[in-house]
Amino acid sequence: MGTIIQLFSRNNQRGFEALLAPHVEYLYRLAYRFTGQRADAEDLVQDLLVKLYPRRAELEHIEQLRPWLTRTLYHHFIDQVRRSERNPLHNALDIVPELDGGVGADPMSAGATESGVLQRQIATALAKLNPDQRVVVSLHDMEGYTLQELQAMLDTPIGTLKSRLHRARAALRETLRMEPLSPPERYTGERTSS
């Protein structure tokens, strides 16, 4: 009997893995765009997979699994952010490590290439967006989904998506000082004092 149960369990696991293995890297990429941190992205995907495991029979009957997974990841991300914001632990500050004897935290190594700097600036700007804005910028401007696809995928009206995109881009431009509606001297090529 125990062997039969083990076999059943192993088959379940194999079925789950076969179904989701082609999508894990994709989910991680989206999760990274949502969270901006590798470790947080891995946690988000891991949590999602844990939640999906009991629903493996349902997954087998979903025809378009990738869009469904994208929507599920999105909801899971938003739920997680809202839940953590409600919990006072959310405001606990980061840890500060020290070594006995006075050796402190190492500074981050700076990959000081221009593109690296720009990438970090964008990452910082993205982190300042609210979660819904970050998701729509990630999926539309980075992953290339159309607004029509996102409307169906996220079950959100196009008007709402457009509004989020518009505000998100404005916030990003502001943070990156790339505001296209800035004073006229920028258009004529004159440098502003800085």
Partner 1 sequence: MTMNCTDTKALFDDLLDGELPLPQTEAVQRHLTTCAACREVLDREQGFRTVLKAQEVPPPSPGFAVRALANAQRKATAPRRRAFVAGFGSAVAAVLVLWLGVALFPHGASNNGAIPTVTLALAQPQMVRIVFTAPQDFPDATLTILLPPHTALKGYPGKQEVVWRSSLYKGRNMLTLPIEADQKPGGNLIAKIHYGTDTKTFRLRLKTQPLQQSMNRSVAV
Residues 4-23 that bind partner 1 (CB under 8 A): 9, 12-13, 16-17, 20-21
Buried-exposed string 124-144: b where 16+ CB fall within 10 A, e elsewhere: ebbeebebbbbbbbbbbeeee
* Interface segment toward partner 1; rule CB under 8 A; list 63-71, 128-136, 158-166: 158-166
Best CA proximity match to 11, nearest among 63, 57, 79: 57
* Interface segment toward partner 1; rule CB under 8 A; list 41-49, 57-65, 67-75, 128-136: 41-49
Shortest distance, position 77 Cβ to partner 1, whole Å: 15
Shortest distance, position 35 Cβ to partner 1, whole Å: 11
Best CA proximity match to 154, nearest among 166, 145, 141, 143: 145
Residue 1 makes contact with partner 1 by CB under 8 A: no
| Residue ranges in 99-118 that form contacts with partner 1 under rule CB under 8 A | 99-106, 108, 118
Residue 141 makes contact with partner 1 by CB under 8 A: yes
